[in-house]
Amino acid sequence: MDGILPLWKEKGMTSHDCVFKLRKILHTKKVGHTGTLDPNVEGVLPICIGSATKVATYITDSGKEYIAEVSIGTATETEDADGSIVESDLSEKVITREQVLQALSSLTGHITQIPPMYSAVKVNGRKLYEYARKGIEVERPERKVAIHEIDLISEDALFQGIEPRFTIRVSCGKGTYIRTLAVQIGERLGYPAHMSHLVRTASGSFRQRDCRTLEEVRAMQDSGVLESFLRPLETALHDIVEVHLDDDEELLTKILNGQVLPLHPIFETEDQAVFVERGRVIALYAPHPEKSGLMKPVKMFLANRGEEGEYIGNN
């Protein structure tokens, strides 16, 4: 079984839990997720199966979309609702819609974030949450992230009370921490804040409407229809320019063999490209990092073809 399974991860499970359960349901060990979701977060989690595990990193690195609730007035050690409160402002607050929109606008574009202590970012070979659980504070590296768009979903003109809340939709690049973004929004408004709820509604080209829960996947597998639901690995590479080889048998043969070749003209404007025959990706190439004027394979997806043109082997 090969392909990408758009899974809807439910609350209470880690991403690794989902992989473990799917290995049992699908009776295969070659299953991998495409970016962790915290146990208290539900949402889109594309799962790569079989040969599609080769493209997992491209989904992980693609853009994401979230619906998040921001709670103003308290900050927590984890920056979400699960952590202990570390700062609070119990004053009666009145925040205008215009103030919130201004804060969101100031955080749109390329911004700097410091990963939360309770995160999987590694420092000196250990994950930050491992330090946090032992009460050890370490210096965390700043990182640049891309916030493509933030929309204010809540329609209120005023957000008021001791702990006003509002809901936002965030479209962002890889490595963005939405809970840290919630804290940053609070800072712009002049109050401690945390993320009180989060749902991932899209990962790459996969959206909520495309997904199935674990129980639905189990039922589809039992009914023998799951394989037809899987998306081809090409879905993960939709943002990379394609070079079609249907009419160039000589170049096709060389690429099937994974050869280092003279640089294709496509690299005058692109930094990577997928070579395709009859709608199937066979290799991803990039300019050779050491040899000017040449290109080399980054990943091979289809090593050779069978007698009737059927693709066999995915090494």
Q: Exposure of 267 by Cβ count < 10 A (0-12 exposed, 13-18 middle, 19+ buried)?
A: middle
Determine the Cα–Cα distance for residues 171 and 181; give it in Å rounded to an integer.
Answer: 12
Q: Are strands 42-49 and 193-203 parallel, antiparallel or unpaired?
A: parallel
Distances (CA, A) of 191 to 178, 233, 261, 313: 17, 45, 57, 57
Q: Which residue has the tokens 């619906």?
A: 67
Among candidates 190, 199, 168, which has minimal Cα distance to 105? 168
Distance between CA atoms of 4 and 238, rounded to whole angstroms? Answer: 13
| Phi then psi dihedrals of residue 68, to 5 deg | -130, 145
Which of 2, 38, 156, 222 is the catalytic position?
38
210 is catalytic: no
Token pair belonging to 140: 């965390």
Residues designated as active site: 38
